[in-house]
Amino acid sequence: MGVVTNGVLALVKGLAGVLGHSQALVADAVESGSDVLSSLIVFAGLKVASEAPSEKHPYGRGRAEPMAALVVAVALLGAAVAIVISSVREIVTPHLAPAPFTLAVLVGVVVVKEGLFRFALRRGQESRSLAVEADAWHHRSDAITSAAAFVGISIALIGGRGWEAADDWAALLAAGVLAFNAWHLMRPALAELTDAAPDEALVKEIREVAYSITGVKGTHRCWVRKLGLDYFVDLDILVDGGLSVREGHDLAHRVHDAVTERMPFVRKVMVHVEPEDEFGRFQMDWEKE
């Protein structure tokens, strides 16, 4: 949906911008063109990330997903730089005011792109996909640049002679928004690629699930990392030191099954069984609450 929609919008905005003498609309067309590329990158990244684990890649290829998100963010930043260069050139060069019909084009673009943003963001949050969420924000950025172009063209048309550059200044403002969104998207992608710890609420929930299993006296370390669309957990549970190896093994399996059943996005829980008497009564912050 994103590829087809952006392809059509890029063509419409590009033609309207050239024929209507609107630099902001041309800049908007460039941004939509980058959206086509970014959506294809996201599609390819998700396809690779969703491949089943293999002997060569026992943990799967989930890194492809945040890598796709990072590429999208870089593409967005590149589009912002291109718009700045083009807009500055137009500001210092006398040119005609934009044509009134370009406003109607922009209204249609804002409506379509905002709808696509909401659809993609919902899908990205449901699947916990950084790449899809990044693509969604790319759509929102397009809606913002179109809205900025609408304001700039309106000022140029109302102001008349001497206000032609308002359209170009609007394009500069849109480029700033694009650059900000690019940085907003880069941060979580880089964090995931460097195995940053996820939200503490997720860790707390995993501990709670483990502690609810009969035989688990407490928890020690709980490390979580995200690989693409899946989470992997390393968890230490504290148990009665007199348990047999088999009893400890079975208890670890029950913890694993309980966590993955409660949180389907957790693919694997590596449970390490430790005797409680070596640590004393380990009380977590969530227990105190």
CATH number at 220 reads 3.30.70.1350
22 with 158, same domain: the answer is yes
Residue 168 pLDDT grade (very low, low, confident, very high; cuts 50, 70, 90): confident
257 with 118, same domain: the answer is no
207 with 187, same domain: the answer is no
Token pair 């990044």 is at which residue?
A: 134
Token pair 């907003």 is at which residue?
A: 184
Q: Which of 193, 209, 232 is the last residue of a domain?
A: 193
Q: Which of 178, 193, 208 is the last residue of a domain?
A: 193
Instruction: Tell me the residue ranges of DSSP E strands in the chain.
Output: 218-227, 230-239, 266-275
215 with 175, same domain: the answer is no
153 with 225, same domain: the answer is no
Token pair 């969104």 is at which residue?
A: 181
pLDDT at residue 95, as a whole number = 59
- Quick one: average pLDDT of 176-195? 81
28 with 111, same domain: the answer is yes
Question: At 231, phi and psi to the nearest 5?
Answer: -115, 145
Residue 268: which domain range? 200-288
pLDDT at residue 234, as a whole number = 93
Question: Higher-confidence residue: 57 or 206?
Answer: 206
SS3 content of the chain, % helix, strand, coil (to 5): 65, 10, 20
Residue 285 pLDDT grade (very low, low, confident, very high; cuts 50, 70, 90): very low
Q: Which of 193, 226, 260 is the last residue of a domain?
A: 193
168 with 204, same domain: the answer is no
43 with 129, same domain: the answer is yes
Closest by CA to 12, choosing from 133, 140, 113, 156, is 113
183 with 207, same domain: the answer is no
Residue 193 has which token pair? 């690629």
Q: How many domains does the chain have?
A: 2
**Mean of per-residue pLDDT scores for the chain:** 81
What CATH number is attached to the domain comprising 141?
Answer: 1.20.1510.10
Decide: residue 78, CB within 10 A, 0-12 exposed, 13-18 middle, 19+ buried. Answer: middle
Decide: residue 254, CB within 10 A, 0-12 exposed, 13-18 middle, 19+ buried. Answer: middle
Question: Higher-confidence residue: 255 or 282?
Answer: 255
> Is the overall model pTM greater than 0.75, yes or no?
no
Closest by CA to 64, choosing from 50, 54, 84, is 50
250 with 178, same domain: the answer is no
Residue 284 pLDDT grade (very low, low, confident, very high; cuts 50, 70, 90): very low
Question: Helices (H) and strands (E) in the chain — how many of each?
Answer: 9, 3
Partners of 257 in the β-ladder: none
112 with 184, same domain: the answer is yes
Instruction: Give the CA count within 13 Å in the CB-facing half-sphere of 156.
Output: 28
36 with 92, same domain: the answer is yes
